[in-house]
Amino acid sequence: MDAPVLKTSLPGPKAAALIARDNRRVSPSYTRDYPLVMAGGSGAVVEDVDGNRFLDCAAGIAVNSTGHAHPEVVAAIVDQAQRFLHMSGTDFYYEPQVRLAEEMAAIAPMTGEVKTFFANSGTEAVEASVKLAKYHTKRQSIIAFLGSFHGRTMGSLSLTSSRVAQRRGFGPLLPGVYHAPYANCYRCPVGMKPDSCGAECVDWIEHQILVHLVSPDDVAAIVVEPIQGEGGYVVPPQQFHQRLRDLTASHGMLLVADEVQSGMGRTGRMFAIEHFGVQPDIFATAKGLASGMPLGVSCARAEVMDWPPGAHASTFGGNPVSCAAAIATIKLLRETLVRNAADVGEYLLAGARELMRKHEVIGDVRGKGLMIGLELVKDRQTKERAVAERDAVVQACFYKGLLVLGAGRNTIRLSPPLTLTRAQAGTALEILDQAIGESARAAGH
């Protein structure tokens, strides 16, 4: 299917009934952007409980890397489920976990021997990465970045700084965490221009944080998203990561890449850090790893992953069914989907830039592969954030049959399954064009 098929008003009667049940019994902490009640899906197409079919450019928040219900992934899940569902890799051995560790070592964006710790999610993978960095270096402090999202459990939440709402009411958080400005060339935090940028925001770490707040020899690691996700799909210049690598090396710190959202082929490379010519010491990934099954991993150079038995573990981490799904996912990524993400992503990015030429409300378009952000502004000169307008576009897309989500305060994120075709990308661009135009006119732009 290349275009949505809407049979009822939205939400339809069955969807409305289920949403009412949800409101009575489910935690109010969840954020639901629009009333989609999923019944099934295939590839980049989602069908709701009323039979409406949508084009999916959200992919379960960048999770369904191989699309919905890919037959090879489903077959791997069923085959493993018929053998055994759980045995806990913390205490026992089983081939799916070992085999996936071998696969992770083979695709890791670093040379040399690599070992893997298995968790259930992105935030757990980040927690493991932070604990490992502290254990290995015997240092206490961590440096992260403003606008970052690393998870919501207490340790990773301490690194997260994308929204106040995610931190409000949960303090005190983990001590010894310091935040530096991220290299956002559209909104440079240190007032530089892209054509003259030397990633001066890294100077903030060296000349401010490491001088006034914490000694370099107390910093275990710098934790960074190669491309910021929740912060607005921000792509930094290449020298930013290169300077971070040099800085960490000069002070004996570890470089930890949070590839939870940007990894597993999404950017047209297996890992986003590969675009920048830098190798981390540790990386965490999750979302797209197992095509929707719960799984996260923290991978490190073998000499870094030196903690002893009992130092860290997880009862469900590396569940054999999730591992089987991940092995099938990696096979598909290697064979076709990473290349498809690069190809269709280039087409989608070019189309989004055409929309920018048409719509003044689009201030910036950025991305790599199928990780693309359109930042909306009230005025291109002042760059005043068009927050309400962005929210209106997200809503308008839904009611036209396209699933997109926001990122940051005023950015639309496009993070479709890596199976997206050029024809489907063209449909997404057409709907975005309509939705942005209608929303801009309604706002008086």
What is the tally of structural domains in the chain?
A: 2
Give the end of a domain, one of 275, 302, 333: 333
Query: Looking at 289, 305, 333, which one is the last position of a domain?
Result: 333
Which residues form the domain of 299?
71-333
* Calpha distance 223→116 (Å, rounded): 18
Mark whether 212 and 263 lie in a shared domain: yes
Q: What is the DSSP code string of 327-396? A: HHHHHHIIIIIHHHHHHHHHHHHHHHHHHHHH-TTEEEEEEETTEEEEEEEEETTTTEE-HHHHHHHHHH
Query: What is the C-alpha to C-alpha distance for residues 378 and 178, in angstroms, rounded to an integer?
Result: 32
Tokens of 215: 């000694």
The reply to whether 1 falls in a domain is: no
DSSP code of residue 64 = -
Which of 302, 333, 364 is the last residue in one of the domains?
333
Nearest to 123 by CA among 156, 147, 145: 156
The verdict on 241 and 388 lying in the same domain is no
CATH for 363: 3.90.1150.10
Q: For position 276, which CATH number holds?
A: 3.40.640.10
Confidence at residue 445, expressed as pLDDT on a 0 to 100 scale: 64
Tokens coding 189: 């935090």
- Whether 333 contacts 418, CB under 8 Å: yes
Residues 84 and 208 in one domain: yes
Mind listing the pLDDT tens digit of every residue in the chain (445 residues)? 778 999 999 999 999 999 999 999 999 999 999 999 999 999 999 999 999 999 999 999 999 999 999 999 999 999 999 999 999 999 999 999 999 999 999 999 999 999 999 999 999 999 999 999 999 999 999 999 999 999 999 999 999 998 888 899 998 999 999 999 999 999 988 887 777 677 888 999 999 999 999 999 999 999 999 999 999 999 999 999 999 999 999 999 999 999 999 999 999 999 999 999 999 999 999 999 999 999 999 999 999 999 999 999 999 999 999 999 999 999 999 999 999 999 999 999 999 999 999 999 999 999 999 999 999 999 999 999 999 999 999 999 999 999 999 999 999 999 999 999 999 999 999 999 999 999 878 877 6
DSSP helix/strand/coil, 423:
helix
The pLDDT score that the predictor gives to residue 3 is: 85
Q: Is residue 2 part of a domain?
A: no
Smallest Cα–Cα separation from 111: which of 299, 282, 279, 303?
279
* 383 within some domain: yes
Q: What pLDDT score was predicted for residue 381?
A: 95
195 vs 57: CA distance, rounded Å: 32
* Domain co-membership, 297 together with 343: no
In this prediction, residue 175 carries a pLDDT of: 95
243 contacts: CB under 8 Å, gap ≥ 6: 199, 202
